[in-house]
């Protein structure tokens, strides 16, 4: 025979008629002779009856409710909320749409900015920009050329002046010894050195006539420096002949005037 | 015959859900009519406030509408809907308890403030005592007790709704009643 504990678990289900028919029969037979389980069954029955207080309360509250009206109210409320949610969604979409032109404008501006930045700072221009960055003063290229030309003209005129002065002394000397005393090798050498420096300038600024004349003078000075410190009368005469034949003094005057008039 | 088919469609949840998915307001209203009382019973037995229970009924149907596309055809609609309702009620009770800084889990006979009806008869309210004891039960015992006593479902129906066996329903119900008797022994009289 099984213990009461085994049957007691089924008391509630027996009371509620939730056991299958065989089990219900077995339980019924047990209850006939077990006073403990009878007591348990009575107490459960009483408890269930007590819980009916809440059940009755529930029934009373339900009696007040107008279910038909509630049915409509719930449906309307749910569909209203759904519509307001979808309206809120479309309003948000419209709000975004209103900003679209501004956003498009901003993007276009950014693209243009990027394009011009690239155009101005493109890699091909980096050396140019770097050289600009290194110089303290940025001058137009034409201005620099003009300055170079003016300086070359000034130097050439200066050179021609001093050469002319020497040639005149050579022509006006009364004797070979007087000419030798005046035309020292230092003076001639100084003019030759100056000519070497002048060569680059004359080539750069393309003063062709002046360069040709300066070259002729240079030739003369080279011959002069090769003579002995005490030149003879014949040598002096030969030099004078060169100066006169080549009309060096005249040419010097003409070139000087030309340079002076074209001076910046 | 056609009329019979139409009537069947009107009361068949599967059919109504299909129509609701297509945006049919009338079908939704029919479904509300079919289930509103059942959900109210569940909600009232858990919160024991008429207005709160009515709000929970409305919230359940709103949640149902939002989740309607997740319902799979062939699934037990009643169980699916009652699970939604039960979860909403549990969330509500948790929020309430959090406000009062009380925890359902810590509820025990010593701490259960059921009042002493024998000392002050004017405060004695069996319905309130039972309700407090019921909401203090573990979730599954509570669900079985409510479904049986207030929704008057058979064990087989409870088993189907909670997706458990009838044997488990019987066991949970017995444990629930035994615990309630213990909790309420002093207040309601009788033996534990």
Query: The domain spanning residue A163 has which CATH number?
Result: 1.20.120
Q: Please check whether residues A107 and A168 belong to one and the same domain.
A: no
| Contact predicate B145/B176, CB 8 Å | yes
Least confident of A94-98, A171-175, B32-36: A94-98
Among A122, A155, A170, the domain-final residue is A122
**Chain A positions in Cβ-Cβ contact with residue B170 (cut-off 8 Å):** 10, 12-13, 18
Supply the CATH classification number for the domain B115-192.
Answer: 1.10.10.10
For range A185-194, the mean pLDDT: 82
Q: Please check whether residues A50 and A91 belong to one and the same domain.
A: no
With residues binned 3-state (H G I as helix, E B as strand, rest as coil), the percentages for chain A, rounded to 5, are: 85, 0, 15
| Contact predicate B117/B124, CB 8 Å | yes
Distance from C-alpha of A69 to C-alpha of A53, rounded to nearest angstrom: 28
Residue B33 touches chain A, beta carbons under 8 Å: yes
Q: Which two tokens mark B110?
A: 């010593």
Q: What is the pLDDT of residue A220?
A: 81
For range A192-219, the mean pLDDT: 80
At A94-111, the pLDDT tens digits run: 666 667 778 888 889 999
At A107-128, the pLDDT tens digits run: 899 999 888 888 777 766 666 6
CB-side exposure of B65: number of CA atoms within 13 Å?
Answer: 24
Among A64, A91, A110, the domain-final residue is A64
Q: Which residue has the tokens 């059921």?
A: B114
Q: Please check whether residues A102 and A209 belong to one and the same domain.
A: no
Q: Number of CB pairs < 8 Å for A and B?
A: 100
pTM value > 0.80:
no
- Determine, for residues A75 and B29 on separate chains, whether the beta-carbon distance falls below 8 Å: yes
For range A39-63, the mean pLDDT: 84
In a domain, A209, yes or no: yes
Q: Please check whether residues A149 and A239 belong to one and the same domain.
A: yes
Q: What is the pLDDT of residue B88?
A: 93
- A258 pLDDT above the threshold of 50: yes
Q: Who wins on pLDDT, B159 or A3?
A: B159
- Determine, for residues A44 and B177 on separate chains, whether the beta-carbon distance falls below 8 Å: yes
Integer angstrom CA distances of residue A104 from A73, A108, B105: 46, 6, 58
Q: What is the pLDDT of residue B115?
A: 45
Q: What is the pLDDT of residue A218?
A: 84
**Domain residue ranges in chain B:** 1-103, 115-192
Backbone conformation region of residue B163, classed left if phi is above 0, alpha if psi is from -120 to 50, else beta: left
| Contact predicate A170/A184, CB 8 Å | no
| Closest-CA distance of chain A to residue B60, Å | 10
Domains in chain A: how many in total?
3
**CA angle B180–B182–B188, rounded 5-degree value:** 80
| Closest-CA distance of chain B to residue A57, Å | 7
Q: What is the pLDDT of residue B10?
A: 67
**pLDDT tier, B40 (very low <50, low <70, confident <90, very high otherwise):** very high
Q: Please check whether residues A147 and A241 belong to one and the same domain.
A: yes
Q: Please check whether residues A111 and A193 belong to one and the same domain.
A: no
- A89 pLDDT above the threshold of 80: no
For range A44-55, the mean pLDDT: 82
Nearest to B165 by CA among B173, A48, A26, B83: B173
DSSP notation for A199-248? HHHHHHHT-HHHHHHHHHHHHHHHHHHHS-SS--HHHHHHHHHHHHHTTH
In a domain, A130, yes or no: no
- B169 pLDDT above the threshold of 90: yes
Q: Which two tokens mark A230?
A: 């005490």
Q: Who wins on pLDDT, B185 or B188?
A: B185
Q: Please check whether residues A236 and A181 belong to one and the same domain.
A: yes
In a domain, A55, yes or no: yes
In chain B, % of residues over pLDDT 70: 77
**Chain A positions in Cβ-Cβ contact with residue B171 (cut-off 8 Å):** 9
**pLDDT tier, B59 (very low <50, low <70, confident <90, very high otherwise):** very high
Q: What is the pLDDT of residue B133?
A: 84
For range A218-227, the mean pLDDT: 80
For range A163-191, the mean pLDDT: 81
In a domain, A39, yes or no: yes
| Contact predicate A68/B36, CB 8 Å | no
Q: Who wins on pLDDT, B168 or B105?
A: B168
Residue A23 touches chain B, beta carbons under 8 Å: no
Q: What is the pLDDT of residue A99?
A: 73
Q: What is the pLDDT of residue A144?
A: 74
- Determine the residue of chain B that is closest to A40 in CA distance: B191
Q: Please check whether residues A79 and A49 belong to one and the same domain.
A: no
- B106 pLDDT above the threshold of 50: yes
B75 SS3 class: coil
**Chain A positions in Cβ-Cβ contact with residue B65 (cut-off 8 Å):** 78, 82
Nearest to A72 by CA among B39, B28, B67, B54: B28
- Determine the residue of chain B that is closest to A66 in CA distance: B37
In a domain, A37, yes or no: yes
Q: What is the pLDDT of residue B172?
A: 93
**Chain A positions in Cβ-Cβ contact with residue B41 (cut-off 8 Å):** 58, 62
Q: Provide the residue count of chain A.
A: 264
**CA angle A84–A90–A92, rounded 5-degree value:** 100
Mutation for A interface: B63, B117, B127, B129, most A CBs within 10 A: B127
**pLDDT tier, B28 (very low <50, low <70, confident <90, very high otherwise):** very high
- According to DSSP, residue A34 is labeled -
Integer angstrom CA distances of residue B25 from A85, B17, B29, B65: 17, 11, 6, 11
- According to DSSP, residue B125 is labeled -
Q: What is the pLDDT of residue A95?
A: 63
**pLDDT tier, B161 (very low <50, low <70, confident <90, very high otherwise):** confident
Instruction: Tell me how crowded residue A142 is: count the other CB atoms within 10 A of its CB.
Output: 8
A17 SS3 class: coil
In a domain, A57, yes or no: yes
Q: Please check whether residues A20 and A80 belong to one and the same domain.
A: no
State the CATH class of domain B1-103: mainly alpha
In a domain, A131, yes or no: no
Q: Please check whether residues A89 and A105 belong to one and the same domain.
A: yes
- A149 pLDDT above the threshold of 90: no
Residue A164 structural domain = 141-261
CB-side exposure of A6: number of CA atoms within 13 Å?
Answer: 7
Q: Please check whether residues A240 and A194 belong to one and the same domain.
A: yes
Residue A43 touches chain B, beta carbons under 8 Å: yes
Q: What is the pLDDT of residue A74?
A: 92
**pLDDT tier, B62 (very low <50, low <70, confident <90, very high otherwise):** very high
- Determine, for residues B48 and A54 on separate chains, whether the beta-carbon distance falls below 8 Å: yes
Q: Please check whether residues A11 and A91 belong to one and the same domain.
A: no
- Determine the residue of chain B that is closest to A59 in CA distance: B41
- Determine, for residues B155 and A50 on separate chains, whether the beta-carbon distance falls below 8 Å: no
Among A77, A93, A122, the domain-final residue is A122
Average pLDDT for chain A: 80
> From the list B40, B174, B188, which residue is nearest A62 (CB)?
B40
Q: Which two tokens mark A4?
A: 């009461």
**Chain A positions in Cβ-Cβ contact with residue B177 (cut-off 8 Å):** 12, 44, 47-48
**Chain B positions in Cβ-Cβ contact with residue A74 (cut-off 8 Å):** 32, 36, 57-58, 61
Handedness of CA A233, A239, A240, A241 (dihedral sign): positive
For range A47-54, the mean pLDDT: 80
Q: What is the pLDDT of residue B111?
A: 47
């Amino acid at each position: 025979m099984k213990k009461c504990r085994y049957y007691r678990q089924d008391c509630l289900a027996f009371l509620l008629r939730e056991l299958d028919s065989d089990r219900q029969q077995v339980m019924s037979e047990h209850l006939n002779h077990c006073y403990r389980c009878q007591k348990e069954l009575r107490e459960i029955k009483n408890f269930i009856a007590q819980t009916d207080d809440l059940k009755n309360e529930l029934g009373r509250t339900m009696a007040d409710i107008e279910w038909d009206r509630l049915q409509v109210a719930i449906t309307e409320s749910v569909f209203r909320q759904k519509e307001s949610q979808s309206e809120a969604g479309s309003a948000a979409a419209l709000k975004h749409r209103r900003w679209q032109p501004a956003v498009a404008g901003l993007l276009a501006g950014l693209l243009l900015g990027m394009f011009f930045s690239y155009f101005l700072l493109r890699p091909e221009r980096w050396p140019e920009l770097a050289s600009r960055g290194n110089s303290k003063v940025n001058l137009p290229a034409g201005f620099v050329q003009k300055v170079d030309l003016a300086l070359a003209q000034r130097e050439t005129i200066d050179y021609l002046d001093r050469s002319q002065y020497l040639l005149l002394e050579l022509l006006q000397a009364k004797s070979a010894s007087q000419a030798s005393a005046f035309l020292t090798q230092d003076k001639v050498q100084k003019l030759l050195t100056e000519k070497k420096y002048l060569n680059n300038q004359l080539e750069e600024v393309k003063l062709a006539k002046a360069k040709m004349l300066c070259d002729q003078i240079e030739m003369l000075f080279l011959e002069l420096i090769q003579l002995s410190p005490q030149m003879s009368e014949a040598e002096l005469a030969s030099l004078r002949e060169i100066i006169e034949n080549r009309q060096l003094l005249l040419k010097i005057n003409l070139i000087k005037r030309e340079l002076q008039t074209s001076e910046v | 015959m056609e009329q019979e088919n139409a009537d069947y469609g009107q009361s068949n949840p599967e059919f109504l859900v299909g129509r609701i998915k297509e945006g049919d307001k009338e079908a939704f209203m029919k479904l509300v009519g079919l289930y509103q009382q059942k959900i109210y019973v569940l909600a009232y037995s858990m919160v024991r406030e008429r207005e709160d229970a009515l709000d929970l009924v409305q919230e359940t149907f709103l949640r149902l509408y939002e989740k309607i596309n997740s319902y799979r055809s062939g699934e037990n609609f009643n169980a699916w809907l009652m699970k939604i309702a039960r979860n909403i009620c549990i969330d509500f009770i948790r929020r309430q308890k959090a406000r009062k800084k009380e925890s359902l889990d810590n509820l025990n006979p010593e701490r259960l403030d059921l009042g002493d009806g024998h000392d002050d008869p004017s405060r004695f309210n069996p319905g309130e005592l039972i309700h407090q004891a019921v909401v203090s039960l573990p979730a599954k015992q509570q669900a079985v007790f409510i479904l049986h006593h207030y929704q008057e479902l058979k064990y087989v129906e409870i088993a189907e709704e909670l997706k458990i066996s009838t044997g488990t329903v019987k066991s949970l119900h017995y444990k629930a009643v035994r615990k309630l008797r213990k909790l309420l022994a002093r207040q309601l009289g009788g033996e534990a």
